[in-house]
Amino acid sequence: MPDDTKTEAFRPEARAPRGFADKRARNLRAERAILEAVSKVYERHGFEALDTGAFEYADALGKFLPDSDRPNEGVFALQDDDDQWMALRYDLTAPLARFAAQNWETLPKPFRRYAYGPVWRNEKPGPGRFREFIQCDADTVGSARPEADAEIIAMAVAGLEAAGLPRGSAVLRINNRKLLNGLLTSAGVETGGQKLAVLRAVDKLDRLGVEGVRLLLGEGRLDESGAFTKGAGLVGKAIDAVVDFVQAGSGGRSETLSKIANVIGGSAEGDEGLNELALIDAALKSLGVADDQAMFEPSIVRGLEYYTGAVFEAELLLSTTDEKGAKVSFGSIGGGGRYDDLIARFTGQPVPATGFSFGVSRLASALRAAGREPGGTARGPVVIINFDQAHMGEYFSVAADLRNAGIPAEVYLGTSGMRPQMKYADRRMAPAAIMLGGDEIAAGTVTIKDLDLGRELASGVADNAAWKAERPGQQTIPRGELVSAVRKIISGSVEG
């Protein structure tokens, strides 16, 4: 009779948590290439690398202050053994603010740092929206000069180009929150709720167009689904002034400043914002940043309550397609601005700060969608075919020779025959397969199969005919010539 006391072993379903992506070599290589390129730009500008821990105390994060027994709104939080709540960092700026406040007396001022690493957000995941992703930031803490904003902008332009977006592929759009604040003051908007409604309306310009924004600035807007969004409640000339302001961004930076000055109407805060943008413009010109690389755009809002002055956003201009060939729009691939109140949360004293951040994973996806694979084409190791257990020592000796010469190599350690091994090497995108049978070992030779050439011929590519004609698909050579022959295959595939 069956033993009813025995229960079937529990087998968990193999699944990744929603919003957390597994990354193979292609994605990791792309992210690493971007980070290395951008880090070099930051270091050339004199920025110091800084890495803070993954966890911060929840009350130090600022954006998601605990308001319940478990402060997990927006962040992933847990309680430490001393009953204090900790949370995974949701960006790299809040940890910088804590670090600067904690170490302010010993830091060089201004403090210029860059950082990169994963951040986590306890939000609903969706297509292209993850709960864990990589960010890369550069910030200057302790300088209120608009030139500090300009340098961050120029560095962002250089960083994006270094990451693989040549000139004309992206643009930095710049605004100043003081301009819109001054305009709203002149229009008689005084309450925080109404000002926030205006900012939200302006932020939807790209999606809804001018007429949609007009409706949201006024009584409100009925969308296609029949849902009604209450507007900011502006009327007449106030609506016209805001619309004129957000449309003043055509033309070069100097021309845009003149248009904005005509709309602002001489408010004190607006004039302050204009002066800051004028100083940013002058610094950008000195730094060699042209109007087509960084432009003034009054419709840029960014962070409805976070920023205090200049704001900037990087927009991808390249045409991009998904894996099925359909056109996709990436829009913003990074942004930042001036945040002069963040460190004051800890110290009670205002400390000016400005910075830029871009999502590395998002940028890698955008580059790939534009046909610009970050980090280059996938390259696997040279694979040494395993014919006979008795010759395993020879196989590992060949692998060691290649590795010592800086060439990735591996001995096939499965149990399949030669044909599956060759298929394995091809799936690994190996540039070549090395074969040593008994005859080659006795004669002191090796046979090399050029897999890159095989892939080129199989794809039917007709160019580089001379290059292909000079490359034998398979060759048997003296063992001592192995390294130079493999190097030639690898370098030939890069040149071809």
For 228-276, write each residue's pLDDT tens digit.
888 888 888 888 888 888 888 778 999 999 888 888 867 888 899 999 9
Percent of the chain scoring above 70 in pLDDT: 89
β-partners of residue 229 are: 221
Where do the structural domains in the chain lie, given as residue ranges? Answer: 25-369, 382-495
List the beta bridge partners of residue 176. Answer: 310
Helix then strand then coil, in percent of the chain rounded to 5, is 40, 20, 40
pLDDT, tens digit, 9 for 90 and up, residues 347-391: 898 899 999 998 898 888 888 877 777 877 678 999 999 999 999
How deeply is 294 buried, as exposed, middle or buried, from its count of CB atoms within 10 A (0-12, 13-18, 19+)? buried
**Structural element, H or E, at residue 363:** helix 360-369
Burial class (CB in 10 A: 0-12, 13-18, 19+), 374: buried
Q: Would you give the distance in Å from CA 408 to the centre of its chain?
A: 28
Predicted TM-score (pTM) of the model is 0.82
**If DSSP codes are grouped into helix, strand and coil, which group holds residue 410?**
strand
End-to-end CA distance of the chain: give it in Å, rounded.
70
Burial class, 32, CB count within 10 angstroms (exposed 0-12 / middle 13-18 / buried 19+): middle
CATH architecture group of domain 382-495: 3-Layer(aba) Sandwich (3.40)
Q: Would you say residue 317 has pLDDT above 90?
A: no
Tokens representing residue 314 in the block: 């990087």
CATH no. of 25-369: 3.30.930.10
CA distances for 117 relative to 39, 60, 91, 323, 362, angstroms? 12, 19, 9, 27, 14
